[in-house]
Structure 1
Amino acid sequence: MSYIPALSRDAVSPAVAASLDAVQKKLGALPNLFRTFAHTPVALNAYLQLAEVAASGRFSAKQRELIALAVGERNGCDYCLAAHSAIGRMVGLDAGDIAAARAAGAKSAGDAATLALAQRIVDTRGHVPTEELDAFKAAGFDDAAILEVLVNVVLNIYTNYTNHLARTEIDFPAAPAARAA
């Protein structure tokens, strides 16, 4: 049971309802996470604005979903793993891509380096050792890419932690259990 309940669209202010309508139009549904954010326009708009900014960066929708899966796995967020598995399929990821991303693996070396950095940002709370940052750059990235990975990590930590605090009811097909290492 949710600790912070997902609100119905009718229970929110007109401004929040308009934002929820836009989410529903884009996704074809109104996930419980957004209805939870709807308790305050601050929470909802913080997510929407940061997601929009992240989408304007160098990482494609597929790459952003891979990052979301890697971060969701590291933070143990069942809601986000379910959501990003479903959304990932919508943007062209297959079951193998999804499973690999959760373990910071990917078909391309660049994506694998990005996911490894994303998980290390989570693991080290941003104190990633210099040699690991250098290895990311040696994989073909620059300082701007490091910061864009960080933006995507922060966006996903925000949703992961919201779901942990709210105990958001999962309204996507459950993600499979992670493979044993």
Structure 2
Amino acid sequence: MSTLPKIELQDATEAAAEALNQVRKTLGSIPNMAKVMANSPALVRGWLALSGALGDGVLSAGVRERLAIATAEYNRCEYCLSAHTYLGANVAKLDPEEIELARDAESKDPHVTALLTLSDAIARGRGVVDPVLLADARTAGVTDAEIAEVVGNLALNVLTNYFNILADVENEWPAVVPLKA
């Protein structure tokens, strides 16, 4: 059971209703996570703004979904793992093998592997990354813009992972259980 109430549009304050309507306009629906986030309309707006800004960045939707999958697996967030597995397959059109590899921060594409490895190292090191690993990423063709956006995507994913875990948001996506759950 959720530790924070789910705010339905018809019961929302004006500010929460505005935020939820923006979610619907942006995504086409209002996922349970956004309904629970609506306890703080500022959080909903912040999540949408960061997600939208990163969506306009240099990392493709497929890379962003794999980053989200890897982070959700690391943080053991079933809600985000389920959502991004679904979005990776159905929106970003990722190959099922790529989705499965992303759970271990891996890919058949060396450049994507370098991005996933970097994100994983940043998460595990709490921002401290071995200079050799960073040099390896650059050797694999990772650009400064990509490095910056990996950090941004990691922050976005940690935000949603921690929020969904803390709030115990009801998962409406096809369930994907973390491997180390």
Give the TM-score, by structure 2 length: 0.92
Partner of 2:153: 152
- Where 1:92 maps in the other structure, the secondary structure is coil
Structure 2 residue matching 1:141: 3-state secondary structure: coil
Distance across 2 between alignment mates of 1:16 and 1:117: 36
1:73-118 Cα deviation digits (max 9, x unpaired): 1111111000101111122013212111111111211111111111
- Using the TM superposition, give the Cα deviation of residue 61 of structure 1 relative to its aligned residue in structure 2, in angstroms: 1.0
Aligned positions of 1:110-125 closer than 5 A? 110-125=111-126
**Corresponding position of 2:19:** 19
Please say if residues 114 and 142 of structure 2, whose CA atoms lie closer than 8 Å, have aligned partners that are also in contact.
no
- The letter for the 2-side match of 1:153 is L
- Unmatched 5+ stretches in structure 2: none
Aligned equivalents of 1:31 and 1:13: distance in 2? 18
Amino acid at match of 1:53: A
Residue type at the aligned position of 2:48: L
**1:49 and 1:28, CA in 2 relative to 1: closer, same or farther beyond 3 A?**
closer
TM-score calculated relative to the size of structure 1: 0.92
Deviations 1:24-71 (A, max 9, x none): 344343211000110111111110111011111101111110110011
Q: % of aligned pairs identical?
A: 37
| Whole-angstrom distance in 2 between the partners of 1:91 and 1:147 | 21
Partners of 1:96 and 1:6 in 2: CA distance: 34
Aligned residues: 179
Partner of 1:40: 40
Q: Which residue of 1 aligns with 2:172?
A: 171
Inter-CA distance 120–155: structure 2 relative to 1 (3 Å threshold): same
Query: Considering only aligned residues, what root-mean-square deviation do their CA atoms show, in Å?
Result: 1.6
**Structure 1 regions of 5+ residues with no counterpart?**
none
Give yes or no for the alignment of 1:81 onto 2:81. yes
Which runs of structure 1 show a deviation greater than 6 angstroms over 4 or more consecutive aligned residues?
none
* 2:58 and 2:145 in contact (8 A); partners too: no
